[in-house]
Amino acid sequence: MAFNFFTDPLDPPRQREDVRLRSITLNIYSDLRRVAFGAELSPFMERPSIDIVITNARGETVSSLIVIESMAPTFRLTMHLRDAEPTNPYRLVAVLYYTWPEKTEKLEVERREISFDVIEPEEKVFLFEKPPRPAPEPDQEED
């Protein structure tokens, strides 16, 4: 018998096709050349992967990151912007996917695109899915 002490009974782990990005947080560092990418996923039964690509206003890829089979639904990683100087606006594309054990193709579950500017150090939060709320208690009639 397996015990999972970290599962919220109101927000159970989901099958592959139901896993979603709940939020993306971007923390722009003071040097304006690094961005802390944070993600919150819905709880999952199987570990998902995620590709993140940032392009500048000229369409050049300035940073990319691949998280392979994330073990946790929340994580934060630093991405370095590799263009010579900030070229706003930037576009971030995050693709949540699963790979099949026997095949090389991906099962893309969700794709999110975000536009942002790098002007000053700041935190930008993008919310996509609210966690489920508890169902209201049914009115109980007294006998």
Residues 85-111 have a mean pLDDT of: 89
Lowest mean pLDDT among 14-18, 53-57, 64-68, 135-139: 135-139
Dist CA 63 CA 55 (whole Å): 7
Average pLDDT, the chain: 88
* Residue at token pair 């193709």: 105
126: burial class by Cβ within 10 Å (0-12, 13-18, 19+)? Answer: middle
Please give the Cα distance from 21 to 85 (Å, whole number). Answer: 30
pLDDT 10s digits, 30-40: 999 999 999 99
Determine the residue type at 59: G
- Residue 84 reports pLDDT greater than 80: yes
Tell me what the mean pLDDT of segment 123-131 comes to. 83
The token pair that represents 133 in the structure block:
């709320």
Question: CB–CB of 132/11 below 8 Å?
Answer: yes
The answer to whether 34 and 76 have CB atoms below 8 angstroms apart is no
Scan for tokens 């919220």, then name that residue: 8
Looking at the chain, how many residues does it have?
Answer: 143
Q: What is the pLDDT of residue 132?
A: 47
Dihedral sign for Cα atoms in the order 124, 130, 131, 136: positive
Pairing of strands 90-99, 49-55: antiparallel
